[in-house]
């Protein structure tokens, strides 16, 4: 009886650990639901104003979102300007989990407005 109880506890602990580990396929929260692509430059004033907004969004939503920044004035990142059809910077592009564009905004994007959009897509503020 005691051995069975210990065995059950060990299996339970292993299965919980597996579900929470990055390699465990049982945890759907590990894959971001939305990718937030910020296209701008570190030398552009409105783009600089977006930097703390991006960090805050990334912190608030955790693994639900992936935040990516491309400095489209840098030679090695100009291709993203063409890839996303950028007309002005900063531009924010939001992609679903399949990579399909679901929303686009041009210019400075206030954090409260980003929150409204993300929450309309089912994301929850974690902290």
Q: Is the domain of 7 the same as that of 36?
A: no
Query: 101: domain CATH number?
Result: 3.40.30.10
Q: Are residues 18 and 38 in the same domain?
A: no
Are residue 72 and residue 114 in the same domain, yes or no?
A: yes
**Which residues in 45-82 are b (16+ Cβ under 10 Å) and which e?**
eebeebeebbeebeebbeebbbbebbbbeeeeeeebbe
Number of structural domains the chain divides into: 2
Task: Say how far residue 114 (Cα) sits from the centre of its chain.
Answer: 12
Q: What is the pLDDT of residues 83-109, one digit of tens each?
A: 999 999 999 999 999 999 999 999 999
Range of the domain at 10: 1-27
pLDDT tens-digit readout, 41-86 = 999 999 999 999 999 999 999 999 999 999 999 999 999 999 999 9
Tell me if 116 is assigned to some domain. yes
């Amino acid at each position: 009886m005691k051995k069975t109880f210990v065995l059950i506890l060990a299996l339970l602990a292993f299965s919980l650990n597996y579900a929470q580990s990055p390699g465990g396929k049982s945890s759907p929260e590990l894959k971001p639901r939305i990718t937030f692509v910020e296209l701008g430059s570190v030398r552009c004033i409105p783009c600089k104003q977006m930097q703390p907004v991006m960090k805050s969004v990334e912190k608030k939503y955790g693994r639900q979102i992936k935040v990516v920044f491309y400095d489209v004035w840098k030679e090695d990142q100009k291709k993203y300007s063409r890839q996303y059809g950028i007309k002005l910077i900063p531009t924010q592009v939001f992609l679903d989990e399949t990579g399909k564009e679901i929303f686009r905004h041009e210019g400075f994007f206030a954090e409260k407005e980003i929150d409204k959009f993300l929450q309309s897509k089912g994301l929850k503020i974690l902290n």
